Amino acid sequence: MALGQDRLDTLEIPDGTTAEEHDIVTDGDIVVGGQSTVEFGVRGRNVLAGERVTFGGDIEAEGDCRLDVWCDVAGNVLVGEDAYLGERVHIGGRLMVSGDLDIGDDVDIEEGFEANGWIVIRNPVPTLVFYFVVLSQLLHIGENESAEELANALSGESEDDPLVIPRGSTVSDDAWQASTPATVGDECRLHGNVRAETIDVGADNNIFGSLRARGDIEVGEGTRVHGDVTTRDGTVTIADGAEILGDVSCSDLELHDDADVEGTIRASGDMRLIRSKASREAE
């Protein structure tokens, strides 16, 4: 990861992510920028949250969980390995940690906690500082393979890409809202409208909501959007086999001839029909 690179400059929803009734579930890590609100619970590998993040349900982390200062969790926190809680973190349920627990001052755990490893009460270092310290130590003792795995996780190059929620974003049953670009992987099932600077949606997704951006919107092959697709100034691109169960409003439009738009199409600029290879060969 290059120095100075902001890992939280895009709303990134990786392949296979599902928004269930109460939880967001992904196979990889979950990284939430400071001052964000996630009205769901979350389930993933490692869960990292910046300062003043609010979770509306449980946190389940197969690996580590790290919550920076003033985070608030409405439900339980279940951690498969180690947990790190900053000052004034509030947990509305129970904290259960299979490994070590590093806990800051004035942490409030309403239903108590259990940790199978060491318990250290102090002020944990900030999340990214902690991981860079660990990375440096791994390199120092010659654990190059472990260091490479950690560096790849920080740079988004691990086998399973992380779910990244940028600073100041809101994720709820009504909307995934960020002031940054947004990308959605393949084979996701999401509830809520997506609001972002630009939106790039992969293939074979099912989105129960609308897409709205200031810039470009791309809808991948076989994706179904149960709502409108709207951009203020950008281009909307709708790929082969995509279905839009609403209206499309944009500046320019690129529409595959095997895509389906059930509502009205409004384009103030150019409209381009992309013909499939089968259609061209049929002539």
Give the domain extent around 153: 11-163
- Regarding whether 241 and 139 lie in a shared domain, the answer is no
Query: How would you list the strands of the sheet with 206-208, edge to edge?
Result: 113-115, 95-97, 77-79, 59-61, 41-44, 23-25, 18-19, 189-191, 206-208, 224-225, 243-244, 260-261
Are 201 and 124 members of one domain?
Answer: no
| Confidence at residue 275, expressed as pLDDT on a 0 to 100 scale | 82
Residue 279 has pLDDT above 70, yes or no: no
Same domain, 116 and 41: yes
Q: Clarify whether residues 16 and 143 are in a common domain.
A: yes
- pLDDT, average across residues 84-97: 95
35 is a domain residue: yes
C-alpha distance from residue 258 to each of 95, 205, 255, 275, 278 (Å): 51, 17, 8, 8, 10
**Which pair of tokens denotes residue 128?**
């990214």
Beta strands in 22-89 (DSSP E): 23-25, 30-32, 37-38, 41-44, 47-49, 54-55, 59-61, 65-67, 72-73, 77-79, 83-85
Among the ranges given (98-102, 145-149, 209-213), the one the predictor scored with the smallest mean pLDDT: 145-149
Confidence band of 181 (pLDDT split at 50, 70, 90) = very high
Rounded average pLDDT over 168-190: 95
- Mean pLDDT confidence for 18-38: 92
- Convert the pLDDT of each residue in 35-65 to its tens digit: 999 999 999 999 999 999 999 999 999 999 9
Cβ count near 151 (within 10 Å) = 17
Strands 90-91 and 95-97: unpaired
Q: Are 58 and 23 in contact (CB under 8 A)?
A: yes
pLDDT of the residue at 21: 77
**pLDDT score at 95:** 96
Domain assignment of residue 214, yes or no:
yes
Do the domain assignments include residue 130? yes
Query: What is the structure's pLDDT at 190?
Result: 95
Structural domain contains residue 154: yes
* Residue 139: closest CA among 151, 130, 122: 151
Give the chain's domain count.
2
Residue 18 confidence class, pLDDT cut points 50, 70, 90: very high
* pLDDT at 142 (0 to 100): 73
Average pLDDT taken over every residue of the chain: 88
- Do 105 and 210 sit in the same domain of this protein? no
| Residue after which a domain boundary falls, among 163, 190, 205 | 163
Burial class (CB in 10 A: 0-12, 13-18, 19+), 273: exposed
CB distance 223 to 201 below 8 Å: yes
pLDDT, tens only, 103-149:
988 899 999 999 999 888 765 555 555 565 566 666 667 777 766 66
My answer on whether 191 and 55 are in the same domain is no
Last residue of a domain, one of 130, 163, 196: 163
Whether residue 157 is found in the same domain as residue 20: yes
> Which residue, of 163, 193, 213, is where some domain finishes?
163
**Once rounded to an integer, what is the mean pLDDT over residues 140-165?**
69
pLDDT exceeds cutoff 50 at 3? no
Asked if 179 and 166 touch (Cβ cutoff 8 Å), the reply is yes
Strand partners, 38: 55, 171
Contacts 24+ apart (CB under 8 A), 128-132: 130/66, 130/84
Listing DSSP states for 71-126 in one string gives -EESS-EEESS-EEE-TT-EESS-EEESS-EEE-TT-EETT-EEESS-EEES-PPP
Flag whether pLDDT at 281 surpasses 60: no
Are residue 150 and residue 214 in the same domain, yes or no? no
